[in-house]
Amino acid sequence: MEPIINAQMPEFKVQAFQNGSFKTVSNEDLKGKWALFFFYPADFTFVCPTELVDLAGKYEQLKQMGVEVFSVSTDTHFVHKAWHDASDSIKKIEYAMLADPTGVLCRGFGVMKEDEGVAYRGTFLVNPEGLIKIAEIQDNSIGRNADELLRKVEAAQFVATHDGEVCPAKWKAGSETLKPSIDLVGKI
């Protein structure tokens, strides 16, 4: 298995549903931007809406940080619209819901569960150069936490603009960072 961290985001062009409209989204649209890909198994399920609504609660803050947010499943954009229209929870989502019925994105990010034709729960942060900086994949029975994801995005953006600094465990914006050096060896 090849490492995905610092790998180039895969090329793609897919349909999406966002704010009552269909649109096309491609990797070309993301050049020069931070992008968060939030893979989930399927629309009209159980854990998925709890995660998507949790992320929707952080969407405005992520947009202010310059991060484009994309949820992704193997459903079509038509199914995304139907779910949006049918569910009071999903109506709260304003970010783009990408349709990946052929699995180009799921396979490109390494989250396709081939035996079921759905995605594992995968979260990926791509920097403006198109490099993957955060990659998390977990079993579909385990939901994610948008608060922790937001913290990680803040850390990734911080280290991207503060050369030579790193963020320790539980780091939050405004907290002290570390500057690795021989003087720190064995002292933390």
Q: Which residues are catalytic?
A: 48
170: exposed, middle or buried (Cβ count in 10 Å: 0-12, 13-18, 19+): exposed
Q: Other CB atoms closer than 10 Å to residue 52's CB: what's the count? A: 23
* Cα angle value 98/99/105 (rounded, 5°): 80
| Per-residue DSSP letter, 71 | E
Determine the Cα–Cα distance for residues 171 and 168; give it in Å rounded to an integer: 6
- The Cα diameter of the chain in Å comes to 58
Backbone angles phi, psi at 154, to 5 degrees: -60, -45
